[in-house]
Structure 1
Amino acid sequence: MSQASFENICIFHIMEGLRDGLTHFSKPSRAALIYAEKPDSPPRIFDPLDLLSGHEPKLRDFYLYSSQWRGNAVTTNELRIIDAEDNGLDLTGIISLGARSRHMHYQAWFTDEHPDMCSVGPTKRWLEFAAGLVSQNFATRDVQNLDTAGFVLQHCATHAIRDYIVDERSRQGWWDTQIRVYPFLDAVLGVSSTQEEGEWPRGRVVVVEPSQLDKVRFVCRFPALEQPQLADTKHVRKLLQAVEESGRVLVSDGKRMLGIAIGPMPGAYLAAQFSGHHGFLWIKDSLVCSFSDGRFHSSNLRANLVQLEELLLETDMDMGDQHTLLQIVSLMVNRVRDRKHGCTLVIDTAKEQLSMSGQHFEKPLDLQESSQLKLACSLAKLDGAVHVGRDLKLHGFACLMDGRIVPGENRARGARFNSALRFTAEHEEIIVVVVSADRPVSIFKDGVELTAQCRFQPIGGLTRPPLLAEWIMS
């Protein structure tokens, strides 16, 4: 096989595996690679889904007008990582990581930075795996390994999270640790998918470094011969009932459950917060990722209302009122999502209030008052929409949205979705936010869903990636 053919196949399989794995860990994701095999090779780019489109000026200045990125050749078998903060290539909305090795002199990997990520750390470790696989395969040049390389990158979530946790705890000074992260991550997923009397787990499990246990404020401790193993997920699930809806936590040393404690925990402890169908993983006070359905995810599970913010900026509302209205809607949306029921919010930005068919008040509810905002969240449970005006007041609930049929309707999405399309198509100063019972949030304006996710097509072709200079010029 020719040099160019191996290069094409290697990069293609690793890119596809990386993109598929990141898409399952986060939202639909793109990936791109800039590389130079030899110290004097011209840089090439593989960006099949236009992730780097719009960043051409910065890439031109960094790679074509400067040679600082080339650095020194690596003579050992190690993979040297170059972070974006170190090499000066920091692109807005993009996570990047560079690497050098003996067999691939330079490579820089890029992927989408989604706005709802708990942390970019695990994704950077994922990019590091991709860089390592490129280097290994260019060293062996065995085409039979390439399918395996792509498959490995599809299933790296647990490994990426583990490596990030180890790196972050080491950065905080915990080099000599007795905590083994893999068993803890396995236990978290096991407990999260175990019901007890029909209820999903709630409560907090904390893993503390054994050398720091004397600083833990235990309420009670279990005898040494009766300490359940952390791997016994059914037993741990039962014990969680003792710390539900309280300030108490279950404490482990990474192997066994030691007891129940309260108060702050010492050192760079690990914590898993179980919240029913989902939960969150922490290193001390830093959020790492979420978990649900037996898998880890990058999302913080908070509603992404960027499109709503942009729509409000286009109105003639006062900037202060825009900010307050966005906060009100955000709180209502997240409260509804946490309670696992759907709702529809009609945001009326017109100066002349729209008259909607529904239940009204003698005096509209002032949503800037905490008690009335809580009442509005409860009213959102009722069938129909809640009507929020530009005056930051709730004017009605259980409101009906009607309209004529429009393009883009989807019978699979239900009545809320299609009613929002029709209603916003006929009222240009209306924004509708629909929250589904299974958590997704959709924003509608002028008969269009602005939050529709793009479905990226599979990468086609195995042609050699173009030179970066040609790509920029084209």
Structure 2
Amino acid sequence: MANHGFIRRCIRETIEGLREGLTHFSGPSRAAVIYAITPEDPIYICDPQNLLAGHEPKFKELYIDSQEWRKKNFIQYDKKKFSNLVHEKNLGLAGLISYGGRSSAIGFQMWFTDHHPDMCTIGPTERWLEHAVYRFSHDMANEEELYTGISGSFLKEYATHAIRDYIVDAMNVLIGWDTRLRVYPLLEAVLKISRTPEEGEWPRGKLIFVEKNSLSKMNFILELPEAEQPVLDNVKHIRKLLQSVENSDLKLVATENTIIGITRENHPHLSILADFKGRYGFLALNDELVCSFSDGHFKSTTHKAKLVQVEEALMDSDLGAEDATALFKIVAGIVHSAASQRHGCSIVIDLNESPVFIMGHSLLHPLDLKNQENCDLARSLSKVDGALHIGADVKLHRFACLLQGRNVPGENRARGARFNSALRFTAEHKNVIVIVVSSDTPVSIMMGGEVLETKWKRDTSVMCNIPVPLETWVSTGK
């Protein structure tokens, strides 16, 4: 079996490449792994940035109290083999995306990263983790003498491949293995078009890619003769044609090679849609969002207001991971609704065991915001002057609240009454976060009389990349 120094090196370089790649794709991201080299080995964990903190009870239940994981999908250990992978699907833990597998070279491995709430879908990230499973298995099979150290580099630059892998898997589910639509050329075309301005304007409009055998089933408003169909490699020409479908329900139709014409239809049984919205855009398979794109790169973001500071504050609070994730998603939904409808609002997130008193409309029975109808009602109530008051119990306790307090040093008269009142209120109340959404300025997050700035957990230069037994980690929390 490989020595521990070699294993540590493989894991360190794989985690770093994975973390850096996912950070470019989704924003600040962490990565961790749980593994056992042979089916009989102790199970280890490497979690350099405390990604898995708070999930100790679940890991104890899955991997220490029970040994069923060793017997499930058992594969005989043989370090010369790595391609006979049996996949282990996402564990579905709050705030995490996970994916694992087994092979002859590694008896068990499960990789983890952050589940950012503003993702279009987690599918590409799962494919990314799946490739980490493959790379680690491959490295262990190769032995130290043949180790090239390129797994981290592969994972760092895996974004386009992850998008392609996710789309191909989804197409195989939709129509089987007989599709002839090649994905890489169209992904390349989308990125090239997205960074090509025309008369100083960035591209807007919709372009759909379909299989050639679907064309006969489509109704075209305009169809080009085969000899005059522009090829996708002629990016400047395609960019000009895209102007014909701007600000309308029309769409350019393309195969993987050429532009065919213009239609008003949504799609045949299978299509890939690129929706250009200026400096950014979205990629969708049929009606399901896959990812966005901007600055010549694919991203996981939905391009809605980011609330990283709120996410960090909730994860650092005494709330459990599940409640923190639920509360964040609810608050983010209210913020995004207010931003999209261009109305200001304020939200008080009260993390005290007994909510503080705020002057406003109190509710006889607080609304459980885990109920979607109640959540929709809270979004409507956010339009009323004053703040929403949401407790740590994920319930709405009051609305139209007046936030008061004495002067604080960080006030900014240019930001208006809503901003400064919220700042004063947080200065006088502990364990309270206030989010202010203005109709014409960025979202502001305040706590303790200060506007919170984005932070990240720890500098990578001081991270501990040494795996430890999972049993030790569960009992000590490190």
What TM-score does the superposition give when structure 2 sets the normalisation length?
A: 0.76
Could you say if the C-alpha distance between residues 326 and 22 of structure 1 is closer, same or farther in structure 2, counting changes exceeding 3 Å? closer
Q: CA deviation at 1:235?
A: 1.2
- Does the alignment pair 1:263 with 2:265? yes
Aligned residues of 1:344 and 1:434 also touching (Cα < 8 A): yes
Ranges in structure 2 where 5+ consecutive residues have no aligned partner: 320-328, 349-356, 362-376, 389-397
Matches within 5 A, 1:380-419: 388=386, 403-406=407-410
Q: Distance in 2 between matches of 1:283 and 1:433?
A: 35
Match of 1:238 in 2: 240
Identity %: 39
Q: CA deviation at 1:68?
A: 2.2
Match of 1:53 in 2: 53
**Counterpart residue type for residue 6 of structure 1:** F
**Counterpart residue type for residue 82 of structure 1:** H
Could you say if the C-alpha distance between residues 422 and 351 of structure 1 is closer, same or farther in structure 2, counting changes exceeding 3 Å? closer
Could you say if the C-alpha distance between residues 188 and 440 of structure 1 is closer, same or farther in structure 2, counting changes exceeding 3 Å? farther
Aligned residues of 2:44 and 2:469 also touching (Cα < 8 A): yes
Q: Distance in 2 between matches of 1:418 and 1:79?
A: 58
Could you say if the C-alpha distance between residues 326 and 279 of structure 1 is closer, same or farther in structure 2, counting changes exceeding 3 Å? closer
How many residues are matched?
417
Aligned residues of 2:167 and 2:285 also touching (Cα < 8 A): yes
Worse-matched range after superposition: 145-154 or 450-459: 450-459
**Counterpart residue type for residue 296 of structure 1:** F
Aligned residues of 2:100 and 2:108 also touching (Cα < 8 A): yes
Match of 1:4 in 2: 4
Could you say if the C-alpha distance between residues 13 and 188 of structure 1 is closer, same or farther in structure 2, counting changes exceeding 3 Å? same
Matches within 5 A, 1:32-51: 32-51=32-51
Aligned residues of 2:344 and 2:438 also touching (Cα < 8 A): yes
Q: Distance in 2 between matches of 1:47 and 1:345?
A: 38
- Does the alignment pair 1:82 with 2:87? yes
Worse-matched range after superposition: 444-453 or 263-272: 444-453
Cα shift readout 1:372-408 (whole Å, capped 9, x = no counterpart): x9xx9xxxxxxxxx9645697799xxxxx994325xx
Match of 2:395 in 1: none
Match of 2:13 in 1: 13
What TM-score does the superposition give when structure 1 sets the normalisation length?
A: 0.77
Aligned residues of 1:14 and 1:146 also touching (Cα < 8 A): no
Cα shift readout 1:72-120 (whole Å, capped 9, x = no counterpart): 11566424242436xxx43222111111112112111111111111111
Worse-matched range after superposition: 73-82 or 235-244: 73-82
Q: CA deviation at 1:469?
A: 1.4
- Does the alignment pair 1:433 with 2:436? yes
Q: Distance in 2 between matches of 1:72 and 1:324?
A: 41
Match of 1:365 in 2: none
- Does the alignment pair 1:334 with 2:336? no
Could you say if the C-alpha distance between residues 435 and 160 of structure 1 is closer, same or farther in structure 2, counting changes exceeding 3 Å? farther
Q: Distance in 2 between matches of 1:98 and 1:326?
A: 30
Specify which of 193, 197, 200 is matched with residue 199 of structure 2: 197
Q: CA deviation at 1:250?
A: 0.4
**Over the residues paired in the alignment, what is the CA RMSD in angstroms?**
3.9
Q: Distance in 2 between matches of 1:214 and 1:157?
A: 34
**Counterpart residue type for residue 433 of structure 1:** V
Cα shift readout 1:107-139 (whole Å, capped 9, x = no counterpart): 111111111111111001111111111111111
Q: Distance in 2 between matches of 1:233 and 1:14?
A: 36
Q: CA deviation at 1:233?
A: 1.7
SS at match of 1:40: coil
Ranges in structure 1 where 5+ consecutive residues have no aligned partner: 315-322, 337-342, 354-367, 377-385, 396-400
Match of 1:358 in 2: none
Q: Distance in 2 between matches of 1:240 and 1:56?
A: 52
Worse-matched range after superposition: 74-83 or 6-15: 74-83
